[in-house]
Structure 1
Amino acid sequence: MTYPRGIDISAYQASSLSFMQTKKKQGAKFAIVKLTEGTDYLNRKASAQITNGLKTFKAVGVYHFFHGYGTAEAQYFLAWVKEFGLDKSTVLAIDVEASDLPTYTTAQVNVFLKYLINHGYRNVITYGSASWFNAGRINRSALVDKHIWVAAYNNYAPGVANANAWQYTDNFYGVDASLDFDGSLSGTTTVAKPSYYQTPGLYEVRIGQIHAYNDLAGKSKRYVRLRKGSRIYGTPVKYGKVTRLKTPIGYFTTNKAFIKFIKKAG
């Protein structure tokens, strides 16, 4: 079993029902829509994106792009959440990545989260890059809600221990895509843990593309990638609790969400 894949979209993406249905056919199970930013921006496509998203997917969440003013931004965001008729089961995400944020921003993130929680919206999650979490710019241990959505564009792992969701690419058929490990991002109770292949043989890429790496740790990316439908022979080799697919052109993921086993070697 693989974990659910979702898309996150903003005014840069389409809002039509056909757009949502196409993304579903391509493998998306849920959507997260940008709703607001700061204290004066509203995504002009949000209404149509949410409406058509709900017609297509079982779950649609919304997010706010944060600029560091906890109470004011939470009030603005929640006012529009209510205006759109989104109930208290909706996943509400805070996007913490703006260049104007202070080096350490956890205190104001907590102000934002507390406001939502105190008003009964408890399905909250904090989005940020792996580098911001690992550097302590967002201090997970100090967050009032520990659910995190980590951005790390690779085909191995989010790079932050026990992340609840992982934005693994900015190009899933042209949009950002994430994997929901435990239902925290999609708002479902489905729990699907990652699993990895162990058998040498022929593999086929499931998703838009995967990258090759020079090393098992996945720290040195090569200028080599395989697109969806590409096939390659390889041997899974152990790396900690997972495996990597060793091939003549580099190491690839063996994560079953990204590739599928076709047949044994020989």
Structure 2
Amino acid sequence: MLRFKELVLTMQEFFYFALRAFATLPKAKRYWRDVLDQAFICGVESIPIVLVSSISIGALMSMEVGNLLEEFGAKTMLGRSTSNAVLRELGPLLMGLMLSARYGARNGAELGAMQISEQIDALRAFGTDPIAKLVMPRLLAALIMFVPLIALSDFAGLQTGALVAQYYHKLDPGIFWNSIYPRLLPMDFVVSFLKAPVFAIIITLVSSFNGFSARGGTAGVGRSTIKGIVASSGLVLVANFYVSKLVFDIMH
């Protein structure tokens, strides 16, 4: 019962924290330099890990799905099968998990260290809202940069899938791409890009909240960072399913 009460109180605090973060978005002009710094950290510096994950999953999907379709003599549908998996699900999902580990961990550790060293209390003492100064730029930067990162992830995954289809399955590139383009639906892009702001909100707010909640010295920073990564990764997986289901129910 005590644990349940603590969970309810934590969820209540997080909801209030999230509302305050969104309420400070109109102050973005005042903290534009912080937004740009976080956009560089969140976007540009995340490109390598996004590319590695998307290239790996694009190659793997093309190889495995191609082997399966070859058994049924339907290898010409490899492009469409790969694009469905990469565009709708695996591209955005892997990007979300990678950024949860990279960007979320950085947020949690940085804000946790500031909380432990009382820098956040110092901001309050000088009349600065720590949510507006520290959380809002991270949230806005993630909302802006996650969209192009998902586009890059989808593009890299499909290009790698095409190369694997050409050199591993000996499938003509024209056949691969012709099975994709005529059958692309608006729903494919809506599902993919709608996940960007959802993942951005989850990763940024959960990691920042855990950083603000850090207690107990450097060990507490580690605990809060790990808790933020685990919670945000789990919520990304859940949100990935429900966003896909919501879009399919509405657009079908």
Tell me the TM-score range normalised by the shorter chain: under 0.3
Q: Which has the larger radius of gyration?
A: 2
Q: TM-score with structure 2 length normalisation?
A: 0.23
TM-score (norm 1): 0.22
Bigger strand fraction? 1
